[in-house]
Each structure stands twice: as C-alpha cells, then as structure tokens.
Amino acid sequence: MFLGEIDSFFNLLERLKSWGSGNRKHPEFLADRFIFLFEDHGVHRNQIPKFLGDLEVPDLATSKTLLSALNDPILDKASSIFGVRREWIDGASDQIYKHLRFYKQPEKFQSFIKELHARSDFVGGELVVGKGKKNDPRNYDAVFMIQEEMAWVGEKQIFRYHFCD
C-alpha cells in the first residue's frame, strides 16, 4: 500500500508541473470541469454519488444530464471536499487551488497543521519547486504542498491538497 501512495504522490507532482507550465488544458464547460475535478483526484464519475448524496448515477450519464442536476450547494460542496476554488469550477479562473499564506506567522501555520492532524488519519507534505522568473525576488518559485487524506474509495485513498506559499 505504501508504494501506491508514493506512486500517487509522483503522479500528482507531474500534474502540478503540467498545470503550472500551461501544458494542461482544463475542460471549458461546467459539467466537464466538475467531472474532471473528481476524476483527477482519483474518483471515477460513477463513484461521485458516494461523495455527494445530492447526485445519483443517472445524473452523471452525460454532461447534459449532469448540468441540469448541478446547483450551487452541490458545486460548493465539491469545492470544499477537494479544497479547490469555486471560481475554477465555474470556469471563471485558471487557478485551481487556494494558496494559503503564513508569511511571518509560524503560530498560524502550526495551528493549521494541528487542525489537519485532528481531522485526518494521514497528513504529509512536500516542497514543490517550480520555475520562477529569474532575478525577481518577489516571485515565489516554490510552494509547500500538504496532502490530507479525506476519504477512501475501496482500497484507494483520496486526498485534499493544501498549498502554502
């Protein structure tokens, strides 16, 4: 099981690199982004009702049936489950994840980590280094990614990601 977690982590790092480089095209339409969100976190579209009791498998048959079933509470819940920005799900922003800032506030960062440990059986972290603008000290070229276990689908862990500048 541990090797599967390592593999999942490296797959996530590759996705993050491609998202940051602009090589990855996100779906344009709301229903397609909604499905992409779940599938990219390891949840097959037919498993979505296990996370959202508001939807049933027939609602997920096509983008058209899903679009008619989606509403603000469902979209807000999906956003909350994975810690993504609602604006991204709506298609109004290209930034998927919220970035948390703890600059010169180590006590707030410590409280945040304690909160994660209190609600999750697994919390891990990794420094993700990106390509920043050269000679610009204000440009962040690294982010601390925290992985929080939020559910299981069969024998597969599903994670929420937190990004700290």
Instruction: Tell me what the mean pLDDT of segment 89-118 comes to.
Output: 90
Q: Give the model's pLDDT for residue 8.
A: 52
147 CB neighbour count, 10 Å cutoff: 21
pLDDT digits (tens, 9 = 90+) for 14-28: 555 444 434 456 787
Instruction: Tell me what the mean pLDDT of segment 78-102 comes to.
Output: 90
| Domains of the chain, CATH where assigned | 27-95 (1.10.260), 97-165 (no CATH)
Give the tokens for residue 162: 């937190």
CA distance 62 to 32: 9
Do residues 85 and 107 touch, judged by C-beta distance below 8 A?
A: no
Q: pTM of the predicted model, to two decimals?
A: 0.72
pLDDT digits (tens, 9 = 90+) for 46-65: 999 987 888 999 999 999 99
Beta strands in 73-164 (DSSP E): 99-100, 123-129, 142-153, 156-164
Do residues 54 and 39 touch, judged by C-beta distance below 8 A?
A: no
Of the candidates 60, 51, 72, 3, which has an alpha carbon nearest to the alpha carbon of residue 32?
60
Our separate counts of H helices and E strands in the chain read: 7, 4
